[in-house]
Amino acid sequence: MDDLRIEKIELFKVPPRWLFLKITTKSGIIGWGEPVVEGKAATVEACVHELSQYLIGRSANDIEDIWQTLYGGGFYRGGPILMSAISGIDQALWDIKGKHLGVPVYDLLGGAVRKKMKMYCWIGGDHPEVVLEQAREKVEQGYKAVKMNATGAFAWIDSLQKIKTVADNIRLLREEFGDTLDIGLDFHGRIHKGMVKRLIDELAPYNPMFIEEPVLSENKEAFDHIYPYTSIPIATGERMFSRWDFKELLHSGTVDIIQPDLSHAGGISEVRRIAAMAEAYDVALAPHCPLGPVALASCLHVDFNSINAVIQESSLGIHYNKGFDLLDYMDNPEIFDVKDGYIELLKKPGLGVEINEEKLREGQKIGHNWANPVWRNEDGSFAEW
């Protein structure tokens, strides 16, 4: 298909911490992707430029062959930078293919298995009043589920006083909303193995929807001890980058929900494969997505097509998005309207996101150099963020 030959690749590093990819074909069809690692946008940008030698002149229709070439053609495989670059390229190619054929991406994957997708978003803040205020806001906006960090900086073994304060925020939410609000708790890999069970003891009475990243993903063997200790569903996967990273975890039987990121774990092609692997192990899918509109749309297309998808994260109003938010670069923000806790099936061809390129180019002039904070414990030692 000569009309789908890739002629141009452009990248836009824009606030708050995003990187957009635009692929243009000979026929003028444009595909959008988000190839980024938060805090490493320039590094991923360089990687996309390096991979462009495998893209220019190729038909955008050849999604799978391009994926395999990008993954294996450089000999060294995997990791956050390469897989995030591949992710954004893959998203853009699916966007082009859907637009060319006039159908949404989930139709190309085999069709939708649901008519709407349950959503959650972040609430944050160190003070209980802020958590309550933000939760009320989200409920008014139509959400029936939220997520928050369980803790701040935590030492390898921390004080009893600190342990006792961890449950305060979720306790207040339960007192305010009862069981009508689902509440996910993100440990964010901040907790070391020796503290996880003590924290679960404090949290269990308030019935969180799940515990996310109870330990860092590189400490997967700790799940063998954590999983049988609690009936709270265990979730992880945002820092895992391919089906090979998920393979051992799924086989161990120590996770209930996997959370691959559509901008980190190989894009639509790879996450759909990961979702199918998880289904075979009776494990649910809840893609990680603290990023922009193209990443969210990519997640939703996989969700719509995956029977084990249970809930979808959105970055709308997230505390990282200072000055700019999820909808700011879009001409059709209404596609992400949340009604009674759900986003309805996307109907437009491709990913369905209409990017306002003028605003994107304005944002590119501002750019960003976002980096996550570096935390320290009271004794000055490094703490996981």
Is pLDDT above 60 for 188? yes
Distance CA 341, CA 326 (A): 17
* Residue 97, both tokens: 């293919």
CATH no. for 107-350: 3.20.20.120
pLDDT at 1: 46
Q: pTM higher than 0.75, yes or no?
A: yes
User: pLDDT for 42-63, tens place per residue?
Assistant: 999 999 999 999 999 999 999 9
Reported as half-sphere exposure (CB side, CA atoms, 13 A), residue 65 has a value of: 7
In this structure, the dihedral spanned by the alpha carbons of residues 34, 373, 152 and 124, taken in order and rounded to 10 degrees, is -50
**Residue range 259-285: average pLDDT?**
98
Pairing of the two strands 18-25 and 30-33? antiparallel
- In the chain, what are the domain boundaries? 5-103, 107-350
Mean pLDDT of 105-115: 98
Q: What are phi and psi of 192, to 5 degrees?
A: -90, 160
For tokens 């009508």, the residue is 180
Active site residues: 188, 288
- The pLDDT tens digits of the residues spanning 304-327 come to 999 999 999 998 877 667 778 889
Tens digit of each residue's pLDDT (9 = 90 or more) over 135-178? 999 999 999 999 998 888 999 999 988 888 888 889 999 999 99
How does residue 249 score in pLDDT terms, banded at 50, 70 and 90? very high
In the CATH hierarchy, which top-level class contains the domain 5-103?
alpha beta
Over residues 265-270, mean pLDDT: 98
